[in-house]
């Protein structure tokens, strides 16, 4: 209810909200001052006029102190006003977030020294003079006043922190802030250990004042000593236990969060309580379980798809409708594979092909290409989609020449010889399939041409052949030899073919 009230106030006041809220909150110091003087009336005898005079002096000094603090605080809130006035670029938003987060500490620091040095001392002196108390009463009066100031500081901090929450939620929608503020933050542990004992001290003083007879002037000092003693012994033990019951599960949650941030999706938080913190730990474990499943799917994608394609499918940029792009298609096939497979066992055939592809696939990946599909003893790869490269043709040629060197010349892929065909053209890249089963692939004339160009290697005796469209995109470091026009099956026009020269004259080798 309190939070919704502050949110409504923020929505209604808009850019005036921070100033209005801080002004209203600081005025609560007048209420604390009034309560402190009223508490003193339970411990010391005096007329209503005498306590009225003491209250007037204390309220006047408090008002001056609060006004002084507000005047110094107003320039510090400039980043908030600027953000609310429309300056919402990343830098301005970051400054506004830091200002709102650090505002409670700043106000407490501004309001601490002046009240302690002026309001308390002058008010206590006034009380001694008006009530005709001995000067030894200064000590219990100062002690009680300091307790009230401590209570006021805690009240200021927690109230302003709550008041800035609606504004901070709005800022968080604009930018993801970092945990960095101009000043050192106040930890949850310190807040618990400071606030709870102070509540006990204030409670003890009020109870002592209401139930006492006020006849003994030493009663205030005695009440302060007893209240502080109880708060720092019996009550402190309960405070420490309470803070530990809250902070220990939070520490477990932070460790698990850090582990997940470092990529460890096996991390979990022990659920040690059945309260809201336990529910938070359980929700965190469920969330990490979802992330773990997503990572498992991504890894599975990376096994059955190239990593770049898997990342693209899982990204926000993925469009099932597809996109058009210029690419270079890489098509390779084992020469005379039929005769080899006829004399070999099935397991041996599969093992030999896997050993071959263990050489070919990393070469393609090293140049930014991705394997579109395996087709028996061959494969089709794409350079230029889904990740676009302006030099896709050169990448494809480098990969082809490196595969030729390692497989055909050095025999790394086993007893196989590959024919490689490259073709460049515009294709449509996207999801193809139906019945709930899809495959990311490319469709276009360049795909068919690349497969036919690879087949032409058997007629020309070359290991690698490329089309004219591919050759036009190559730089001077990629010399080629003409192989003339060729009739290719399914292609209604002769296709000019070229053979790129060896890696020694065709640019840098691929390192895999």
Domain containing 494 — which CATH number? 3.30.70.1230
Q: How far is Cα 338 from Cα 343, in angstroms, rounded to an integer?
A: 9
CA 105 to chain centre: 25
Residue 238 in any domain: the answer is no
Structure letter (DSSP) for residue 132: T
Residue 146 in any domain: the answer is yes
Q: How far is Cα 99 from Cα 83, in angstroms, rounded to an integer?
A: 11
Residue 286 in any domain: the answer is no
Q: Which residue has the tokens 């002196």?
A: 125
Q: Quick one: angle between helices 28-43 and 188-211, nearest 10? A: 40
Q: pLDDT by residue for the chain (512 residues), tens digit each? A: 455 788 888 888 888 888 888 888 888 888 888 888 887 777 778 888 888 898 899 888 888 888 888 888 888 888 888 888 888 888 888 888 888 888 888 877 776 666 666 788 888 888 888 888 888 778 777 777 777 777 777 777 888 888 888 888 888 776 655 555 555 666 666 666 666 676 666 666 666 666 565 544 447 656 666 666 655 555 566 666 666 777 777 888 888 888 888 888 888 887 766 667 777 878 888 888 887 877 776 665 555 555 566 566 555 565 666 688 899 999 999 988 877 777 778 888 888 888 899 999 999 989 989 888 888 888 999 998 888 889 999 999 999 999 999 999 888 877 889 999 999 999 887 766 655 555 667 888 999 999 999 999 999 999 999 999 999 999 888 999 999 999 888 888 899 999 998 644 444 433 33
Written as six digits, the tokens of 428 are 């449509």
Residue 54 in any domain: the answer is yes
Range of the domain at 490: 318-505
Give the end of a domain, one of 183, 213, 248: 183
Q: How far is Cα 445 from Cα 289, in angstroms, rounded to an integer?
A: 44
Give the end of a domain, one of 151, 183, 215: 183
Residue 281 in any domain: the answer is no
Q: How far is Cα 132 from Cα 44, in angstroms, rounded to an integer?
A: 10
Where do the H-state alpha helices sit in 461-502? Answer: 468-472
Say what the alpha-carbon torsion angle 278, 284, 285, 290 is, to the nearest 10 degrees. Answer: 150
Residue 196 in any domain: the answer is no
Give the end of a domain, one of 144, 162, 183: 183
Query: How many structural domains compose the chain?
Result: 2
Whether the bond into 457 is cis, omega within 30 of 0: no
Cα angle 108, 195, 239 (rounded to 5 degrees) comes to 155
Strands (E), 37-91: none
The model carries a pTM of 0.53
What is the DSSP pairing of strand 418-434 with strand 464-467?
A: parallel
In 3-state terms, what secondary structure has residue 41?
helix
CB 269 within 8 A of CB 281: yes
Residue 209 in any domain: the answer is no
Residue 466 in any domain: the answer is yes
Residues 179 and 324 in one domain: no
């Amino acid at each position: 209810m309190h939070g919704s009230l502050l949110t409504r106030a923020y929505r209604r006041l808009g850019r005036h909200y921070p100033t209005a809220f801080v002004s209203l909150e600081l005025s609560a110091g007048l209420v604390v001052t009034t309560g402190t003087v009223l508490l003193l009336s339970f411990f010391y005898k005096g007329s209503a006029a005498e306590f009225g005079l003491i209250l007037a002096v204390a309220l006047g000094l408090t008002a001056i102190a609060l006004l002084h603090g507000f005047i110094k605080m107003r320039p510090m809130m400039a980043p908030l006003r600027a953000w609310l006035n429309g300056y919402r670029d990343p830098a301005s938003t970051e400054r506004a977030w830091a200002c709102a987060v650090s505002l409670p500490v700043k106000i407490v620091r501004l309001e601490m020294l002046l009240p302690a040095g002026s309001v308390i001392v002058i008010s206590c002196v006034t009380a001694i003079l008006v009530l005709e108390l001995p000067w030894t009463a200064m000590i219990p009066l100062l002690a009680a006043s300091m307790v009230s100031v401590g209570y006021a500081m805690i009240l200021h901090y927690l109230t302003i922190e709550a008041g800035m929450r609606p504004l901070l939620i709005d800022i968080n929608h604009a930018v993801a802030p970092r945990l960095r503020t101009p000043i050192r933050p106040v930890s949850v542990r310190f807040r618990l250990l400071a606030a709870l004992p102070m509540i006990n001290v204030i409670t003890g003083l009020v109870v002592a004042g209401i139930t006492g007879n006020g006849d003994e002037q030493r009663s205030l000092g005695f009440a302060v000593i007893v209240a502080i003693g109880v708060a720092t012994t019996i009550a402190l033990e309960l405070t420490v236990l309470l803070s530990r019951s809250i902070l220990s599960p939070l520490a477990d949650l932070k460790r698990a969060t850090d582990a997940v941030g470092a990529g460890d999706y096996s991390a979990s938080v022990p659920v040690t309580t059945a309260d809201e913190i336990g529910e938070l730990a359980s929700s965190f474990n469920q969330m990490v379980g979802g992330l773990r499943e997503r990572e498992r799917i991504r890894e599975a994608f990376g096994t059955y798809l190239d990593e770049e394609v898997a990342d693209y499918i899982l990204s926000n940029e993925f469009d099932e409708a597809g996109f058009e792009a210029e690419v270079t298609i890489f098509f390779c096939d084992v020469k005379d594979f039929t005769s080899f497979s006829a004399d070999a066992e099935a397991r041996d055939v599969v093992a030999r092909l896997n050993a071959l592809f263990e050489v070919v696939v990393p070469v393609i990946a090293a140049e930014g290409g991705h394997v579109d599909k395996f087709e028996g003893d061959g494969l089709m790869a794409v350079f230029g989609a889904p990740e676009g490269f302006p030099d896709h043709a050169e990448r494809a040629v480098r990969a082809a020449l490196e595969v030729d060197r390692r497989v055909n010349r050095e025999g790394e892929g086993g007893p196989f010889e590959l024919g490689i065909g490259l073709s460049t053209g515009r294709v449509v890249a996207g999801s193809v399939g139906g019945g709930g089963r899809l495959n990311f692939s490319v469709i276009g004339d360049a795909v068919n041409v690349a497969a036919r160009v690879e087949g032409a290697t058997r007629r020309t005796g070359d290991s690698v052949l490329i089309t004219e469209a591919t050759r036009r995109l190559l730089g001077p470091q990629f010399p080629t030899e003409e192989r003339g026009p060729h009739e290719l099956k399914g292609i209604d026009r002769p296709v000019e073919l070229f053979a790129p020269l060896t890696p020694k004259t065709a640019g840098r080798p691929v390192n895999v």
